[in-house]
Amino acid sequence: MSNFDRFNVSASLIKQAVARLENLEEKKAEVLTDIKDTFAEAKAQGLDTAILRKLVKMRKMKKEDVEVEEELLEIYKRALES
């Protein structure tokens, strides 16, 4: 009995999954490069990339979560001023 039989694993299924994952990893690398290039362009045009990253993060959040985060930030800032 081979290991394939023992674990009931299909070699073609494994090859297919690995090929798809490799393809997705390649696409992911391309997208990450595009993101890096976009931030570099924005910086070259005088934009603050840290603020851009924060805006992108906030736009993914629920409105209520953004409000809570902004409120907490304000509370922390006031605490530092006192």
Mean pLDDT per 10-residue run, the chain (82 residues)?
69 94 98 98 98 96 96 96 90
Note the pLDDT of residue 5.
65
How far separated are the first and last CA of the chain, in Å rounded? 74
Note the pLDDT of residue 4.
60
Which residue is it, tokens 């299909």?
A: 10
Strands (E), 3-71: none
Note the pLDDT of residue 7.
73
Q: How far apart are CA 9 and CA 18, in angstroms?
A: 14
Domain that holds residue 53: 3-81
Note the pLDDT of residue 10.
87
Going by C-beta distance under 8 Å and a sequence separation of 6 or more, which residues neighbour residue 61?
69
Note the pLDDT of residue 31.
98
Note the pLDDT of residue 55.
96
